[in-house]
Each structure stands twice: as structure tokens, then as C-alpha cells.
Structure 1
Amino acid sequence: MSLTLQILDPRHDPEPADWEELRGAARQCVTWRYDLLRAYAWAAQAPLLLTVLRQAGTAIGAVSVSLRGFRPHRGAYAGRRDFAGILDVHAPANRSQKGWWFAGDPAPEQRRELLRGCLRGLRRELGAGWRGTVWREVSPGEPELLPGRVRVTLPTAPLARLATPWRGVGDWYALLDRARRDSLRRRAKKFAADPSLSIQVGPARDLVSGAEAAELRAENDLKHRSRLFPLAPLPLPYLDALVGGDEVVAISYRDDGRLIGLSLILDHPDWPICLSWGARLPEDGGRKHLYFDGYVRMVEWATASGKTGLVLGKGQAEAKSALGADLVPSAALAVPL
């Protein structure tokens, strides 16, 4: 069956009529909502293209690509396309997902052919100077599902996943070593007994504003600015739309009304994704050890909600492993044409 491509610039092109149907069929989280893709694209450091793959007119998958040109640009956003560069395949605003997905589960050879056809179409659109591709967040066993024979593999931070097949947080505590279990319980009780500290878990739209989320995320984002192709800070319009919707859960810590800690979780029927954590430093009115207490609240919420598990994201791998998470190896795969 022939493949057709719908190549979109989310800044300018309207949302496809069947986009939400495709996103739902593929069980993709809220960061793939088209209005959020548009907000991300306007603030990104490189032009973003979204390609919808279709067979017989039916949308079957999508690929998100940033155009990393070879010429340096001044300013945060490079608005024009270069004549040459690299196709950087990644999920916008989310390092815990892949930049390519399908509504179904194509066979390995079919998957390779679909992605190969997508790359060929993008190069026809962009020109012959776009000679290489970088696939990000590639898991073990996936390289053979991607097109291209000559590859350079760069290991990246592992992805932490915590299965939650328990009736409550007590079952999770029982799996941890005694010192870790005791410290988590002690701190949770201490925070719960603090009359000036309010801890709430629920829909983000009820607990936090986009401006508050942006303020706490800003400090956390600075920790990752040295990465190759670092993510641009999420703009306020993006965070306003994100926390104002129906698919994001927040864990908020407030001291006499002032937000001092915040975790944002992208809800999902099975594996919600912990998108971000941000907290004020103790010298700025924050509290020590809120980071670890946040995991207690996440597990409480996930078990009460009947989730299969939590995607805890990247970074702090040793700490997440000590909390029972599995570390899934991840890599960036560079494929020259």
C-alpha cells in the first residue's frame, strides 16, 4: 500500500482533522496535542516539522523532526530553514518519549519501510543538503527497526520506569532497603505534620498556574543547558496550555501559599510520564528532601489510580534505581545518508 506524507509546520499549518483521532489510537500523551506542538515550535531553537504518515488516506503514524542547520544563528529561535543540516528526530518538550510512533504495531520490515519513506519525503521537501538523521531515545532492540545501515551510536542517560503493581504505597516501601524506607516514611510524616506546608495532588489546572510552573522549571532547565542540542526552556504560553488542560496531574508543595515544589505528570491510562520537577532552594524558602517526598506522592497517586507504572524520566538514575525503578538503556543513533 502506497505511503503519502503530510509535512506540517505547526506554527503555520492547521491541525489535521484526524489528528486527535490518531493521537488517541496511538495512546500518545498530551504533549502531542497540536496546540502544544504549535506553542513549542514557536519557541524552539530550530525549525520543527511534523510529518503525518498516511496509507490510503488514513493516518497511521507521525514523526517529529527538528532541522539542525549547519550555519550558526543568533537568538533563541532560528526561523528560517538552512540549505543543509541534520534531521533530529525527537519528541517535542519530552525526553521520555520517542519522536516517531504508529497507531498500530507494524511488522519490523514494514516499520523500516515506513520510516525510510518518511525520510525520503522530508529530503525531497528540504533539499539534498539534508544528509543525515539522528534518532533519539532509541531503546535496546530498536536499531534494527530503523532505516539505514551505517550507524554511529552514542549512549545517553537511561530511562527510569517504575512498575506499580501494588495496592498501596506500603507494598512499595516493603521492596526498598530499610534505610531508604525509614527515611522516606520519616520525611513524609514530618512534611504532613508541618502546619505551614500544604501538599496537594490533583489536576494541574486546579493547583498551579503556567507562570508558577515556568518559574520553578527555569532553575531546573539550567541544569541541562550543557547537553548536545539542549531543549529550549518551555515558554509561558506552552505551560499555560499544558497545565490548563485535562491530561496533566500536579503534585504541589506550598509554604503559606507560596509554591516551593512542583511535579508535573502527563497522565496516561497505563504509564503516566513524570515530565518535570522543580523546587526552590532551602535558602529561598524551600525545604530539603522534597524531591524524594515527591516520589512517595507519585506512588500513592499511581497505585490509587490503578496505573501499571510510572515513567520517571531521565537523570538522577542512581536515586531512581534505589527507589525501585528499572533503568532502560537509551541511545542516540546517528545515520548518515
Structure 2
Amino acid sequence: MNWRVEVFDPHLDAEPPWWESFRRSADLHMIWTWEMLTAGAPLRIAVVRDGPRTIAMAAARWTRGMTNVIALGGTAQPSWWIAESAPRPELFAVLGRALRDQFSRPALGTLWREFTRDQLHQIRGIRATVKVNPVSLLPIRWPDENGWLAELSAERRKNIRRRARQLGRDPGLVIGSGPVDTLDADQAIRLIRGNEVKYNGPRFVSKMPDTWLRRLLRRSDVRAVHYHDPDRTLLAISIVLDHPTWPVLHRWGALPEDQGGRKHLYFDAFRRNVAWATATGKHGLIVGKGLPEIKQSLGCQVHDRYAIITPGR
């Protein structure tokens, strides 16, 4: 094995000339473009190359004494990638050492996330395994949204259709979808932050700085379902990271009713995202973490995920 290990700091290092072609061939989402990596929280990226070919990658930051291997912009996707035919246990060990060596403070351990049960054997040696929040996926098996609706419970199907009719008759509501860069970024960020506080509490500190969100919201490969009032006040937004096969339903935000918002817009936006995914030939939607019961009621498959902690140096 003639492996070469390289470690990058996106805030300091220029984009490697091969990075974008690697990202696309590895099927990584747009949060892994160098443009987005430079806008996020500081982190290190370890890459293992075999000649001209990249065979493994992992990104981490130092968090509370741990080398924390975590994806920017959410934990629904791994912050590591290893080529299908490569020796995974050996490469996980190489990546872990390379990342730990980048931080000046000693790490108590390395925290790896987003393993399926079948992947747990790929990290060897002393370790602790923890079950974490599951991830919800919606495989697209239908030619249109009616096929999806037909598989939901009668009550859920009736409620979604009734709500769609009600919203269509609301003269104070303007509904749209398409590239997110046409929207007011300040309003979108306020809704996203409000949703974070709603579910995480007022002391929650987002892992996505405003600079990262602003850069996300000006990209042409990010789309949204959005709801405005006639004065163009943004009432709700569902942000989608586009992808050739598996887009990500990334962030949701909505004004409370007492501030002019509407009830149940999440379900209408979900319906519209399914309609778009079926119309554009997507394989499925990555719906993310949290609210697994609600997402199951919308046809999602909920998959267990695990984290692995290995000792520090």
C-alpha cells in the first residue's frame, strides 16, 4: 500500500485541484463544496490518496476534549467517506490518527457518527458504541404525489388534501418553489433560527453560523418551498439541498400563528417536495433526524444510526 495522507484546513488552505471531481465521484452533497467548507465552523479534513485516487476522507473539529467527526450543517449524513473496495478498518485507523494529530490539545477520544448496524465492525479495537437519533429516508417509488398519498393512512391523506385546498383558497398566502437565491436571506435565517430555538431551547448555539447559511442561500443548487403574505413577509420555508438522486430536506422554519403564520404548512411543504422529487426522477429524499413518528406517518423509513467512540492518544 502506497498511501499518502494529507490534512487540510479549509479556512487556511486553497481548494485542492482534485477536490470537486472527488466530491462528485464520491456522491457527496453540496455542503462538501470548498465554498461551503470555508464558511462553516473551523475543522480539519484528512484525505487518504492512493496514487492519484482519493480512497478515504473524514472531517472533524475539536469539541469538549474529543476529536468530533461531524458533518457541517447537520448530522443526517456521515462526515466520513471510504471507497467501496478499500480496506475500511485500516483506513478508519489512518484517518483517526491523522485528525487527532491536528489538534494541539490532547483528545480524550474520537467520536465517529452515522454508522449503520452493519458498519459497526469497521472500526476495530477498544471502543464504545452508542445508539443515536435515527435518520428518516423516503424512497421514491411512485410516478407522482398521488402514488405517495395512496400509501399513507386514510386520516393523514385526507388531512393533507384538505389542507392543500384550504391553503389554495387563502387570499393572504402566496406559495412558491424554486431556487432559494430569489428569497430574502435575512427573513429565511430568522425563521430557521426560530425553529432551532423552538426545538432546542433559547440557549441553543447553532453549528451553522449565519455566514454559512447566507452562502447556502445564494447557491443555485439549493431550492425551497416558501410561503409569503402579500407584503412579501416570509411565513415559512422548507430548504432542500438538491442532488442527482437523494436530495436533503435540510431546514424548516415558520412564523408562529400569533405572528401571522399558518398552521400545518410543514405538511403542505412536504407534499410539494415529494411532488417535485417524483417529477424530477429522484431516487428518494433524505428527510433527516427528529420527529420520527411524524415522518413515518408521511411514508418515511426510519433507520437506526450509531456513534462509535475510540480512546484518544
Give the alignment's TM-score, normalised by structure 2. Answer: 0.93
RMSD: 1.8
Q: Which residue of 1 aligns with 2:272?
A: 297
Is the contact between residue 152 and residue 297 of structure 2 (CA under 8 Å) also seen in structure 1?
yes
Q: Which residue of 2 aligns with 1:336?
A: 311
How far did 1:58 drift? 3.0
SS in 2 for 1:91: coil
How far did 1:97 drift? 0.6
Structure 1 segments unaligned to the other structure (5+ residues): 42-46, 70-84
How far did 1:235 drift? 2.6
Is the contact between residue 72 and residue 208 of structure 2 (CA under 8 Å) also seen in structure 1?
no
Paired residue for 1:260, among 229, 235, 238? 235
The number of residue pairs the alignment matches comes to 309
Is 1:8 matched up with 2:3?
no
Inter-partner Cα distance in structure 1 for 2:274 and 2:102: 46
Q: Percent identity?
A: 35
How far did 1:249 drift? 1.2
How far did 1:233 drift? 4.8
Q: Which residue of 1 aligns with 2:33?
A: 33
Is the contact between residue 213 and residue 239 of structure 1 (CA under 8 Å) also seen in structure 2?
no
SS in 1 for 2:177: strand
Aligned-partner residue type, residue 98 of structure 2: G
How far did 1:223 drift? 4.2
Paired residue for 2:285, among 301, 307, 310? 310
Paired residue for 2:295, among 320, 325, 329? 320
Is the contact between residue 89 and residue 100 of structure 1 (CA under 8 Å) also seen in structure 2?
yes
Q: Which residue of 1 aligns with 2:72?
A: 92
Paired residue for 2:109, among 132, 154, 157? 132
Q: Which residue of 1 aligns with 2:206?
A: 232
Is 1:247 matched up with 2:221?
yes
How far did 1:288 drift? 0.6
How far did 1:57 drift? 4.0
**Cα deviations by residue, 1:287-323 (Å, 9 ceiling, x for unpaired):** 0111111111111111111111111100110000011
SS in 1 for 2:277: helix
Is the contact between residue 3 and residue 114 of structure 1 (CA under 8 Å) also seen in structure 2?
no
Aligned-partner residue type, residue 38 of structure 1: T
Structure 2 segments unaligned to the other structure (5+ residues): none
Inter-partner Cα distance in structure 2 for 1:136 and 1:209: 34
Inter-partner Cα distance in structure 2 for 1:290 and 1:250: 13
Q: Which residue of 1 aligns with 2:119?
A: 142
Structure 1 runs of 4+ aligned residues shifted over 6 Å read none
Paired residue for 1:158, among 131, 134, 152? 134
Is the contact between residue 22 and residue 60 of structure 1 (CA under 8 Å) also seen in structure 2?
no
How far did 1:231 drift? 6.4
Give the alignment's TM-score, normalised by structure 1. Answer: 0.87
